[in-house]
A and B are shown apart, each in its own frame.
Chain A
Amino acid sequence: MLELLGTALVNVAQVKYLVPLFLGTLAGVVGGALPGVTITMAIIVVLPFTFGLDPLQGLAAMTGVYVGGSAGGLVTAVLLGIPGTPSAIATTFDGHPMAKNGEPGRAMWLGIWASVFGGMIGGAFLIFSTGPLAKFALQFGPWEFFALFVFALSMVAGLVESSLAKGLLSGGLGLIVTVLGNDPVMGQKRLTLGIPMLEGGIDFLPVLIGVFAFAQIMSEVERMGGAAKFGDAVDRSLSLAVSHVKVIGEILSRPFLLLWSSFIGVVIGVLPAIGGSAANMIAYDQAKKMSGHPQKFGSGIPEGIIASESSNNANVGGSLVTIMAFGIPGDAVTAVMLGALTIHGIQSGPLFILQNAQLAYGIFAAYLIAHLLMVLIIGVAARYMLRVVTVPKAALFPVVLVLCVIGAYALNNTMQNVYILLAFGLLGYAMVKGGFPLAPFILGVVLGDQIEINLIRAIMTDANPWLFLTRPISGALMALSVASLAFAIWQHYRHRAKAASEVDADF
């Protein structure tokens, strides 16, 4: 394993791979730092650039975006008080006060090095657990895969912040998209609604790009016309230079905090579609609860920055495990990576690491090197990035939409995908306005065909439906699906009861 990793590190260090990795990391850092631009949008923008590259070049660029984006949000969180991405929200709580107290360099470098250490812990989990988990998944038959995908979908639908009914319905809508057009088992036409372009089914990438890009851009457009806010910037004349030994010492002198926050990040990364936005908030909350001086949180203490930044980068490692071992995207970013694999004709899932060991270890190597590039980029460019983040959205959005069009069109050089992009852009925006979460919808679109294929394979092998419950792994996964829904219902009622009691107290 370590020999393969060493070879992959040498391979990715070649200019051929290092250039796309560097550019991807740069795009991620800048995209992550831009308030209103998420890592998902950054990776959607980078996607069309990877079409002309070989698979490892493309995936290295995307891994760079993911790593860079997870750390890039801290720059504006610390220096402007505006989190560049949702995964840097908790960094703002202590990072910005520390910067305002005259220590912007310390705040920023605490965040950067915590991101590196968190990312490395996530990386260790990624490298050492992906293979064993994939081997475990090789024991799965169609019953187990069906149950696993149902579990992933039920968990995502249940854990989203809005109502359980909307989460489940959103997942159901995603599944409906996959039943339109053709049957994935026999290729028979079905439910084409008389629309010729539906006859081949609907590719999930234009759906994903349309839903996320338009939902985000139009949510920003509807707020346009008011006064622009560029946050509460720190004094730009202050130096960002620090003693790196001292900053690293500050982080390593809190080993339990670093390990626990990174562990939270990894676990949340493994769970589908929860993401870094939840990881940094939970890690911050945990750090506060376990601290001997919780009242100091929010005043600019290092613990808050370390917890938030180590967790959101560790989250990336966890998220990559889910897609590489099981073929289930942990979030929208890995869903785009899954699409990139499909474009290059590579099948994700448990066989991925066995059949494409060079590519898999190349991704591990790209992940590790991206952290070093991220340090270099933020270290050199942090001050200049404050200028970049004030780029007018009126200029940024049309350019992003053009790249979305290229990404959709270039999938198979037809306008059909551009029309799908627009149609699902409208649907995505409508879903956001209606309070429907997008994550279960996307997971439904990504997993729908696989759920159907495995269900039909299971029935073709043995028509006994009880096998889904009586086979140990399948039965356990089905029980977990029910448990995750029961947990979501319990949480919903507990939240409602709490809200009601708070209303009573007000009276």
Chain B
Amino acid sequence: MSRDGIAGLAVLAASLVLFALTLDLQASPMVPVGPGFYPRIVLALTALLSLGLVVSDVLSRKRIPKEQPKQKLNYPLVAMSFAVFALYAVALPWLGFRIATFLFVGGTNALLDPPRGARGWGRALILGLVTTVATWLVFERWLSVLLPRGRWTDF
């Protein structure tokens, strides 16, 4: 089964599970149809469409064997970039915007363009510092947009 078939199966499973959950929703006395009415329509439609995608994937694979274009893509780097961002999202409420952002920007820059020597590390640190200071000054000081404070650092 190709990516289409797998994606279709995943959406089909999710739609069916959610559809089953809508059956437990209580009707409201104020509205002629309950809160589950519209979700059921949407979920039934997505279930049918995803089933169609699965069937079409199975049938098309029988008819025409697809050739996948070969292009080397750096998926480990994508996975690591997502992981670093996830760490940043987790660290924000604990370390606060300024420390977490400094670490994230410097770290991501070093990940995407590995530093060679002290100058490279200096570049990553300066980028982290400048981004942190500039965003903090513009948003907190100038635009009065509050940024996360750290529970551990109170900073």
Contacts and interface: CB of A to CB of B under 8 A. Distances in A.
B59 interface: no
A418 B35 contact: no
A224 B73 CA distance: 8
Interface string B1-28: 0011001100100110010011001001
B154 to A, nearest CB: 16
B35 A402 contact: no
Contacts of A421: 89
B112 A221 contact: yes
Given A173-B46, A392-B113, A409 B35 contact: no
B122 interface: no
Nearest to B3: A434
Nearest to A413: B146
Contacts of A185: 31, 35
B7 to A, nearest CB: 5
A3 interface: no
Contacts of A168: 49
B92 A452 contact: no
B21 A191 contact: yes
A190 interface: yes
Given A53-B143, A406-B139, A418-B92, A190 B36 contact: yes
A172 B45 contact: yes
B155 interface: no
Contacts of A403: 135
A51 interface: yes
Interface residues of B, number: 62
Contact of B7 (A49, A429, A436, A451): A436
Given A395-B127, A402-B131, A221 B142 contact: no
A56 to B, nearest CB: 16
Instruction: With a 10 A CB-CB cut-off, give which of A168, A190, A409, A456 has the most chain B CB atoms.
Output: A190
Query: How extensive is the interface on chain A, given as a class?
Result: 35 or more
Contacts of B49: 165, 168-169, 172
A190 B35 contact: yes
Interface in B122-150: 127, 131, 135, 138-139, 142-148
Interface in A173-197: 173, 175-176, 179, 183, 185-186, 188, 190-191, 193
Interface in A379-396: 392-395
A410 B38 contact: no
B77 A225 contact: yes
Given A394-B112, A394-B113, A410-B146, A165 B53 contact: yes
A397 B112 CA distance: 9
B35 A186 contact: yes
B73 A402 contact: no
A426 B82 contact: yes
Given A394-B109, A456-B31, A459-B33, A190 B25 contact: yes
Contacts of B3: 433-435
Contacts, number: 171
Contact of B86 (A52, A165, A399, A422): A422
A434 B50 CA distance: 13
A98 B114 CA distance: 39
B108 A397 contact: yes
A425 interface: yes
B32 A459 contact: yes
Contacts of A186: 28, 30-31, 35
Contacts of A49: 138-139, 143
Instruction: With a 10 A CB-CB cut-off, give which of A169, A173, A419 has the most chain B CB atoms.
Output: A169
Contacts of B73: 222-223
Instruction: With a 10 A CB-CB cut-off, give which of B28, B38, B77 has the most chain A CB atoms.
Output: B38
Contact of B81 (A188, A218, A225): A218
Contact of B38 (A165, A409, A422, A456): A456
B89 A188 contact: no
Contacts of B108: 394, 397-398, 401
Contacts of B104: 398, 401-402
A49 B45 CA distance: 39
A443 to B, nearest CB: 14
A191 B112 contact: no
Contacts of A51: 143, 145
A227 interface: no
A225 B95 CA distance: 31
A392 B138 CA distance: 23
Contacts of A252: none
A37 to B, nearest CB: 15
Interface in B27-64: 28, 30-33, 35-39, 42-43, 45-46, 49-50, 52-53, 56
Contacts of B30: 186
Contacts of A320: none
B140 to A, nearest CB: 10
Interface in A28-80: 48-49, 51-53
Contacts of B89: 405, 415, 418-419, 421-422
29 contacts: A49-B138, A49-B139, A168-B49, A172-B46, A172-B49, A175-B46, A176-B18, A176-B43, A179-B18, A183-B35, A190-B25, A190-B39, A191-B18, A218-B81, A221-B78, A224-B74, A224-B112, A398-B105, A398-B109, A401-B85, A402-B131, A403-B135, A413-B146, A422-B82, A422-B86, A426-B82, A429-B82, A435-B4, A452-B38
Question: 10 closest Cβ contacts across the A-B interface?
Answer: A52-B143, A394-B113, A394-B112, A172-B46, A183-B35, A398-B108, A179-B39, A222-B73, A398-B105, A452-B38
Given A191-B21, A394-B112, A435-B4, 7 more contacts: A165-B56, A179-B43, A186-B30, A188-B28, A410-B139, A433-B3, A435-B3
Interface of A: 48-49, 51-53, 165-166, 168-169, 172-173, 175-176, 179, 183, 185-186, 188, 190-191, 193, 214, 217-218, 221-225, 392-395, 397-399, 401-403, 405-406, 409-410, 413, 415, 418-419, 421-422, 425-426, 429, 433-436, 448, 451-452, 455-456, 459-460, 463
